[in-house]
Structure 1
Amino acid sequence: MARVVLGVGASHSTLMNTHWDKVVHTDRAERFRDALGEARDEIAAAEPDLAIIVGSNHFRGFWLDMIPPFTLGVGEVIGSGEAKTPSGPQKTAPAFAQRLAEDLVERGTEVAISARLQIDHGQTHAIQYLLDGIDVPVVPLVVNVFAAPLPRPDRCAELGRNLTAAIEALPGDLRVVVIASGGLSHQLPWPDDWRAPDGADEEFLVEAWLNGRGDWERYDGRRREIITAARPVLFPAFDEAFLADLERGELAKYTAMTTQEIGAAAGNGGQELRTWLVMAAALGFAPGRALAYSPMPEWLTGMGVAVIRP
């Protein structure tokens, strides 16, 4: 029987690639980097046949002309390559992904599909660090966490449960690892409501989100300037409580939170916790193990790494 053999949750930040020389909290940065390496070793030890990467989109593969709540890459998968992340075609498993999409719909979770999906660091950061040297195909599952309305957290958990049920219905002894990429707490200098941008920077970002299809690089320079100039806003107490609940197997309670409640507790970037809830639900909300937590104002994010075994 095909089965999920491991779940991993890890924060991402392209500033880790481009701003390491500006890090002040070096010990925290190294602790997070080392934890990524430890999680990578756990994945290798699990001997997976493929990896499902549940991540967010940062308006390099989706734009405001169309953003489904959930999208599964079932054909070509292309890394955008921003900020020294992997670029170009990635190794994929189209037949598995298409069958997975069909089964998810039959089980009540309607996922969109893409036969030519461009992903950004919402998935490629995980490929770069968690799958380093591990030659397995990837199936990206993109969750909309930045363009309201966002999918409800309980629907994300339902997606995770149906994901495992669909995998277990497959023939053969397929071993699958589910990776969640995103979070923890952070506040991006993005408009909370894309319909009502406030000021020139937010107006520029909305224009980039609306018109970036096929031309996202034209907007990327100023986008990076806006992000790197942002004031860090982290919520370490929330992050630590979230990881403690992960270790106790109690993440299911976060599925009752609203979008507004998550934003107030963990910032607008905290909406990426939906990816962790998909992963944790796929592992049956089993107790896990936090490998590291590093609040990194230099990277604008509370950086965490954790693993869950079935």
Structure 2
Amino acid sequence: MTEIVLGVGASHSTLMNTHWEETIHKDRAGRFRDALYAAREELAAARPDTVILVGSNHFRGFWLDLIPSFTIGVGECLASGESGTPKGPQPVDEPLARHIAGELVDGGRFDVAFSARLQIDHGQSHAIQYLLDGLGVEIVPLVVNVFAPPLPTLDRCERLGRAIREAVLAFPGDRRVAVIGSGGLSHRLPWPDWRAPDGDDEEFMVGAWLNGRDNWQDYDARRRQIIRAAEAAINTDFDNEFLTLLEGGKAARITEYTTERLEEVAGNGAQELRTWLLMAALLDHVPGRRLAYESIPEWLTGMAVAVLDPTTT
């Protein structure tokens, strides 16, 4: 019998790897890092065979020449390795991945894209680095478009999570499956709406997203300068409201936000909450437990870790 044994939501930031020494609020950063390690221990205790790893794309694996709303990796998975995150091939549970894709499409529920050679970036490899290190598990990578509008609605993401849950539980093999949602919480990146760039920096970013498939490293130095020059825009009230909903098993209420309203309240980076929402739906919205929440302006982001354990309900 296949069962879903644990869910983890975790923020990510490559600045954790590249600018730890420059981080001013090291007490907050340390508490967040320790919470990642604590979540890893809970994952280890749950003994998953496979982790469905839901993350975002930061224009290193997907480009403006082709942006699906949802993409499942069903074959090779290659991590880009930027900013000290893992690089190279990652182990994929191909039978489960292909089962999920087939169930979604053949069942008429979701016409998801799939990739037999998927490239992921730190939107997922940050979680591989800090949450899966040493666990020896395979992954089913799921990439959600959160930065290239039009974006899938929050409601659509929640419904996809429920549909994947049904597919996983119908898998004829014997799997213990955990789920990770990587991203968020509130933050604002200096990234334009690609349809209407304004100024040299925004024109540069859109050009990088369109033309960087084979040479993304050539754009990375200026791109990082633009990001490092940005001012933090963290909404701690929103973040705590969302985490409270998650703790109460009510994360689906975030679907009341439109894409535009979510960006207005919590920044364009908060669109990554789609990954947490998918994770929570896969866990059937069991009540969660917050391990950490820290506002870290040097990383531009409200950083959180939470665990959803179906055995405690």
Which TM-score band applies after superposition, normalised by the shorter structure?
Answer: over 0.9
Offset at residue 132 of structure 1 (A): 1.2
Offset at residue 95 of structure 1 (A): 2.2
Say whether the 8 Å CA contact 1:11–1:305 is kept in structure 2.
yes
For the residue of structure 1 that corresponds to 2:276, the secondary structure is: helix
Other-structure match for 1:40? 40
Other-structure match for 1:259? 259
Distance, in Å, in 2 between the alignment partners of 1:5 and 1:83 is: 31
Say whether the 8 Å CA contact 2:245–2:253 is kept in structure 1.
no
Tell me how large the CA RMSD over aligned residues is.
0.8
Distance, in Å, in 2 between the alignment partners of 1:91 and 1:214 is: 23
Other-structure match for 2:141? 140
TM-score (normalizing by structure 2):
0.97
Q: Which runs of 4+ in 1 moved over 2 A?
A: none
TM-score (normalizing by structure 1):
0.98
Structure 2: runs of 5 or more not aligned: none
Distance, in Å, in 2 between the alignment partners of 1:139 and 1:275 is: 14
Q: Aligned partner of 1:118: which letter? A: Q
Q: Deviations over 1:106-138 (max 9, x none)?
A: 340221001111100000000000001110111
Offset at residue 23 of structure 1 (A): 1.0
Other-structure match for 1:285? 285
Other-structure match for 1:122? 123
Q: Deviations over 1:29-85 (max 9, x none)?
A: 000000000000010000000111100000000000000000001111001000000
Deviates more, 1:139-148 or 1:102-111: 102-111
Other-structure match for 2:172? 171
What is the number of equivalent residue pairs in this alignment? 309
For the residue of structure 2 that corresponds to 1:22, the secondary structure is: coil
Offset at residue 173 of structure 1 (A): 2.6
For the residue of structure 1 that corresponds to 2:163, the secondary structure is: helix
Other-structure match for 2:198? 198
Q: Deviations over 1:268-300 (max 9, x none)?
A: 000000000000011111111000001010101
Other-structure match for 1:273? 273
Other-structure match for 1:81? 81
Q: Aligned partner of 1:174: which letter? A: R
Distance, in Å, in 1 between the alignment partners of 2:184 and 2:258 is: 16
For the residue of structure 1 that corresponds to 2:128, the secondary structure is: helix
Please list, as runs of the form range in 1=range in 2, the aligned pairs for 1:101-250 lying within 5 A after superposition. 101-107=101-107, 108-191=109-192, 193-250=193-250
Offset at residue 265 of structure 1 (A): 1.4
Say whether the 8 Å CA contact 1:109–1:158 is kept in structure 2.
no
Distance, in Å, in 1 between the alignment partners of 2:40 and 2:242 is: 22
